[in-house]
Amino acid sequence: MAIPRLLKLSIMMTLLFAAMLYAQSSTGDTFNESSADNFFGVGGRAVGMSEAVTASVLDGTALLYNPAGLVRVKRPEFYGALSHERVKCVSNWLAAPGSRAATDDFTKTRLNSLSLTVPVPTYRGSLVLAFGVNRAKSFDRTYTFASGTVGIYTENALEQATGGVREWSAGAGMEISPHLAVGTTLIYYRGDEDYLWDYQSEGDFVSRHYIDEISSTYSGIGIRLGMIAEVNPYLTLGLTIDSPTRFRIKQDYSQVTIINGIRDESVGSYEYDLQHPFSFNAGAALRIATFTLEGDVGYTDWSQLEYKSEADKPNNKALQKYYSDAVQFRVGAEYVIPQYGVVLRGGFKHDPLPIAGTLLSNQIEKNRNSFSAGLGFLIDRIVMLDIAYARASYTLYDGGRDVSSKYTSDRVLLSVGYRI
């Protein structure tokens, strides 16, 4: 998840870099790219297992998790999923332990996944095609801060963003031997984000009110390669590689400044190109009878983010200094009770924030982890109904203001797969 930060505002500098800067910290410019990280789980089965499905994915979500897994779909499948998420931020001003905590939250319900998977008759092996759209990244977040009163000085701020990126994709999985499958997904990324920063302060006989709004659109093209190998009847290995993707980002912004009741407003637009690095995922699934246990590792070096627009290339050093690489660990389990047509799931994910901690105002106090649980129900052997719940949390510390902010996300996913 991209990290919201309280900023020591400098209006003219923000306008100059409005396309890439959400704000400025007390230690200098901060480059906050929403499309970096912020992965949003897709599908009830996968989310119920904390997305540890690189080796064991078996439905239309294979377009996202490992296209080689499409070969496990033996009949035409229609698949759809909805997500409901509540994001929340609670900030405490540590300099005044008795002060009231500032809290903000909101909820969003959205289409999470929609796909069609079709096996193709073959003389030998298996060939499966799939087409779908998946909400792969979420920009939903909120941040709030209230300093209370220090002498005659007060500060209050609210930062919110909503939106995300969807993958419009076409993929294929193919068995090239009885125990080895490969696959590929061709992806068109398309998304949007609405961002708000509302800051007010009173003190030294000066009243300040800043309102920044940015509407962004994202587009890009990428490819995902996958492989699944059945080592023996009990052990399966999976691997995926996401190619570097160049995003085109277009932004329209407005900025309102009110100083002692005097209002000034500026509007404008900006476009730039941002290239994402390679992403890798590997998993191992152990299957004994109706019990499956999988462990996955994901790696992306976000310090390789790079502005490709000529006007923005001078900012690459600061951008890459702000971000770091991230190693993600996921563990998920699934137990099928065949006599009742019920599936039990659970999982844990260590999902570190991809920031280097170079800014005093943006220190990781507690890194991001999540837990999940899920249930599946097989109905009449043709319908699979899955429901999952996942809770993620992390805490950031603003050393400039001595503020600790805890962020939480509660997600519920409901998915249905129908196989003809």
For 291-344, how does the pLDDT look when each residue is reduced to its tens digit (9 = 90+)?
A: 999 999 999 999 999 999 999 999 999 999 999 999 999 999 999 999 999 999
Binned at pLDDT 50, 70 and 90, residue 32 comes out as confident
Residue with tokens 């050393």: 399
Binned at pLDDT 50, 70 and 90, residue 26 comes out as very low
Residue 6 lies in a domain: no
Quote the CA–CA distance of 159 and 154 in Å, as a whole number: 17
Averaged pLDDT, 245-265 = 95
Q: What is the pLDDT of residue 326?
A: 96
User: Is residue 284's pLDDT more than 50?
Assistant: yes
Q: How far apart are the first and last CA of the chain?
A: 37
Residue 5 lies in a domain: no
Q: What is the pLDDT of residue 132?
A: 98
Residue 320 lies in a domain: yes
Amino acid identity at 395: T
Q: 330-386, pLDDT tens digit by residue?
A: 999 999 999 999 999 999 999 999 998 878 778 999 999 999 999 999 999 899 999
Binned at pLDDT 50, 70 and 90, residue 12 comes out as very low
Q: What is the pLDDT of residue 16?
A: 34
Q: For residues 309 and 286, is the Cβ–Cβ distance under 8 A?
A: no
Averaged pLDDT, 84-97 = 86
b/e sequence 269-303, b meaning 16+ C-beta within 10 Å: ebebebebbebebbbbbebeeeebbbbbebebbbb
Q: How many helices (H) and strands (E) does the chain have?
A: 4, 20
On average, the pLDDT of the chain sits at 90
CA-nearest of 145, 147, 119 to 59 is 119
Q: What is the pLDDT of residue 399?
A: 85
Binned at pLDDT 50, 70 and 90, residue 30 comes out as low
User: Is residue 6's pLDDT more than 50?
Assistant: no
Q: For residues 165 and 137, is the Cβ–Cβ distance under 8 A?
A: yes
Percent above pLDDT 90 for the chain: 79
Residue 181 lies in a domain: yes
Q: Which domain holds residue 285?
A: 11-419
Best mean pLDDT range from 24-38, 194-208, 259-273 = 259-273
Quote the CA–CA distance of 102 and 90 in Å, as a whole number: 6
Residue 365 lies in a domain: yes
Averaged pLDDT, 28-44 = 82
**Which three-class secondary structure state does DSSP give residue 256?**
strand
User: Is residue 189's pLDDT more than 90?
Assistant: yes
Q: What is the pLDDT of residue 15?
A: 33
**Which three-class secondary structure state does DSSP give residue 337?**
strand
Of residues 194 and 357, the one with the higher pLDDT is 194
Within 10 angstroms of residue 161's Cβ, the number of other Cβ atoms is 24
Q: What is the pLDDT of residue 93?
A: 82
- What CATH number does residue 358 fall under? 2.40.160.60
Q: 391-405, pLDDT tens digit by residue?
A: 999 999 988 778 899
Residue 304 lies in a domain: yes
Q: What is the pLDDT of residue 2?
A: 38
Q: What is the pLDDT of residue 24?
A: 37
Residue 2 lies in a domain: no
Domain count, the chain: 1
Q: Give whole-number Cα distances, 18 to 125, 226, 249, in Å.
A: 53, 37, 12
Percent above pLDDT 70 for the chain: 90
Quote the CA–CA distance of 287 and 333 in Å, as a whole number: 10
Q: What is the pLDDT of residue 1?
A: 36
Residue 48 lies in a domain: yes
Binned at pLDDT 50, 70 and 90, residue 9 comes out as very low
